[in-house]
Amino acid sequence: MPGKSTRLTFTVLATGAGVFAMLQSLIAPALPTVQHAMHTSQSTVTWVMTAYLLSASVFTPILGRVGDLVGKKRTLVAVLVAVLAGCLLAALAPTIGVLIVARVIQGIGGALFPLSFGIIRDEFAPAEVSGSISNLSAVIAAGGGVGIVAAGPIVTALDYRWLFWLPVAVVALTALIALRYVPESPRRAEGRVNWLGAVLLSGWLAALLLPLSQATHWGWGSARVIGLFAAAVLLFALWLFAEARSQSPLIDLRIMRLPAVWTTNAAALLFGAGMYAIWSFLPGFVQTPRTAGYGFGTTVTGAGLLMLPMLIAMFCSGVLSGRLEPVLGAKKLLVAGAALGAVACGFLTLEHDEQWHVAFAAGVFGLGIGLAFASMANLIVGSVPPEQTGAATGMNANIRTIGGSIGAALTGVLVTSRLQPSGLPYEAGYTHGFGLLALLCLAAALAALLVPAQRARRIAGAPRAVGDTSGAEAETAPVGVRS
């Protein structure tokens, strides 16, 4: 836990990151309401989510690197102001076009995750770093759950615009406190922002995520989808070439090749696929009318209540991981978290006829999310130099998001490939989808087993002993971070 001198800083970081995580999922259950209120089509209203996803994916690693270069506090305050502006614009948006622009601005807040992890590493005592990262990860994970649970009651009692009005005051106060009390980073990376790398990174991320999110509307075999996937491959290759030749790369590829980093990122990709797909499809499953032969016909609020065990479990396990990590190590916790996700999805594949089945599986998955979020962040922070913390944790969050888009797209294909005359999916579509997610989480657990066990750890910044040839991850890890 943070000491007295850092508790206010932690509160600011947790509030900002938690609000952004909530904004990720808060609007999803309310999309039909937004569609009706703004007299738009279903394909158009999905851009409220797609624009946010693309924006966050682009800005998370770029602004994480900017924070490493120009100062994490300065960048943090600027990002909070952007989120505030986006929430205000969304609350006042007269048209769907303005709302989509507002969501793009809100997406800038994705950088709050890497900036917060970097500030913790810079400002907190070495013994506090691991536990604080675990606690912050628990808040981030729980924030996404709060969005799912709270959306229904807010829309029912007030209006969908209050999904944006409520965060306004919180973000404004957080920005003011951050400006006044959060200290500026003592460590700065050398170099400058590689804008060519930033443009190419933005290009291949957009070209990859856009067809994944829109393929169900455009068609997987359409020219737009195939063309964008081809563009993503080309832009990715150009980005790798540009980053390898740059004197000041946006993402240091040598850091990405560290065994502890690439294996953690592989696990993040696979686990993210399972996690985001569960968030996307489980509420729809329980809201399906019983006339379809499955489902419970719940309201949005009822679906949120069935997801409540996931929210409670992910927060508790995230906080608990901070106590377990010094004893068991982050690697074992990541394996356990992914395995719990596989168990939850496997259970749903076999048993989903009663509401308690869904609530139980959601709780088990929540335990896995809390453990996995905290351990992934600790593994990355403990494996990279301090001046690369923002960029490296930003890419980890991005890779998890990419996995989520892939998982949601694949599950969407299985669920919607065959529809009943009523237009509702068959139960078999969900059953196959849950089975796929179980396999993805199992693959994430196997990937986590590849994370190297590291024994020698020292305080960040401590000088290397003569003749010490251990990797960068052993040289720079904070005390208490074990894999």
> Is the pLDDT at 73 greater than 80, yes or no?
yes
Question: In this structure, are 270 and 123 located in the same domain?
Answer: yes
Last residue of a domain, one of 247, 264, 287: 247
Specify if 346 maps to a domain. yes
Q: For 248-258, what is each residue's pLDDT tens digit?
A: 787 888 888 89
**Average confidence (pLDDT) over 414-442:** 90
Per-residue pLDDT at 148: 77
- Would residue 102 count as lying in a domain? yes
- pLDDT (0 to 100) of residue 91: 94
Mapping DSSP onto H, E and C, the string for 64-115 reads HHHHHHHCHHHHHHHHHHHHHHHHHHHHHCCCHHHHHHHHHHHHHHHHHHHH
Number of domains in the chain: 2
Residues 159 and 209 in one domain: no
Residues 301, 420, single domain; the answer is yes
Let me know whether 129 and 239 are in one domain.
Answer: no
Same domain, 219 and 261: no
* Share of residues in the chain with pLDDT > 70 (%): 92
Residue 120 lies inside a defined structural domain of this protein: yes
Indicate which CATH number applies to the domain containing 298. 1.20.1250.20
- Both 376 and 341 in one domain: the answer is yes
Mean pLDDT in the chain? 84
User: Per the domain annotation, does 482 fall within a domain?
Assistant: no
Q: Which of 25-34, 116-125, 155-164, 223-232 has the lowest mean pLDDT?
A: 25-34
**Domain boundary at 227, 247, 267, which?**
247
Q: What is the pLDDT of residue 99?
A: 94
Domain that holds residue 172: 4-193+248-476
Pick the range with the lowest mean pLDDT from 31-35, 387-391, 460-464.
Answer: 460-464
The reply to whether 378 and 446 lie within a common domain is yes
| 316 and 203 in a common domain | no
User: What percent of the chain clears pLDDT 90, i.e. is strictly above it?
Assistant: 35
Q: Which residues of 44-72 are buried (b: 16+ CB within 10 A; e: fewer)?
A: ebbbbbbbbbbbbbbbbbbbbbbbbbbbb
Q: Are 335 and 271 contacting, i.e. CB atoms less than 8 angstroms apart?
A: no
Residue 3: what pLDDT? 53
**Average pLDDT of span 405-419:** 83
209 and 178 share a domain? no
Q: State the pLDDT at residue 1.
A: 52
Q: How far apart are CA 236 and CA 341, in angstroms?
A: 30
- The upper half-sphere exposure of residue 188, i.e. CA atoms within 13 Å in the direction of its Cβ, equals 12
Mean pLDDT is highest, among 20-29, 80-89, 114-123, 395-404, for 80-89
Are 217 and 316 members of one domain?
Answer: no
483 domain-assigned: no
Band (pLDDT 50/70/90 cuts) for residue 234 is very high
Q: Do 365 and 416 reside in the same domain of the chain?
A: yes
- Report if residue 68 sits inside a domain: yes
Q: Is residue 209 part of a domain?
A: yes
The SS3 assignment for 426 reads: coil
Per-residue pLDDT tens over the stretch 327-378: 888 899 999 999 999 999 999 999 999 999 999 999 999 999 989 988 998 8
* Averaged pLDDT for residues 175-198: 82
Mean pLDDT throughout 264-282?
88
- For residue 28, pLDDT beyond 60: yes
- Please tell me the predicted confidence (pLDDT) of residue 454: 57
Residues 64-86: what's their mean pLDDT?
Answer: 91
pTM of the model: 0.80
What mean pLDDT is predicted for residues 56-77? 87
Chosen domain end from 247, 268, 284: 247
Do 159 and 294 lie in a common domain? yes
**How far is residue 256's CA from residue 395's CA, in Å, rounded to a whole number?**
9
Q: Is residue 281 part of a domain?
A: yes
Q: Which of 483, 399, 408, 404 is nearest to 114 (CA)?
A: 399
